[in-house]
Amino acid sequence: MAKDGRALGYASERLKDDRDIVLEAVRQNGLALEHANERFQADPEVVLLAIRQDSFALAFACPELKKDKEIVRAAVLGFSLSLKFADPELRKDRAFLMALMQESDDFYQEHVDPALFEEPIRKLVYLPKS
């Protein structure tokens, strides 16, 4: 796993259940989280490490962690399109989205439902920051 985290997809179930192996795999390739034992997909430390390597690793986090604002925030700040993997209710959380807009340089209209925002604020959502 030390050379290519994607190898976790071909590993035995025993290796997919080994914390050290999984940590090394997601350190190399965050998307290796897909092949990790479910308990690691529910482990905030493992999921954050995977997300820091590849924001799209959020897709393979357990449903509970897709509701976790800090986990989702880390993914979105890495690449805002990863918001699509967050829990649907969190994607409707206006205060959360506003906070992300303040922090992210690439938060564009396709990431949020425009109905969540009043007209003056909606313009902020649709315009990329300069």
pLDDT in tens, 82-114: 999 999 999 988 889 888 888 876 765 556 676
For the chain, domain boundaries? 5-126
Q: Distance between CA 56 and CA 49 in Å, rounded?
A: 12
Q: Quick one: DSSP state of residue 63?
A: T
Q: Distance between CA 65 and CA 45 in Å, rounded?
A: 11
Q: Distance between CA 40 and CA 19 in Å, rounded?
A: 8
- pTM of the predicted protein model: 0.81
Residue of 83 and 7 predicted with greater confidence: 83
Cα dihedral 7/12/16/21 (nearest 10):
-60
Q: What is the pLDDT of residue 122?
A: 47
Q: Distance between CA 121 and CA 70 in Å, rounded?
A: 24
CA 11 to chain centre: 24
pLDDT in tens, 24-64: 999 999 999 999 999 999 999 999 999 999 999 999 999 99
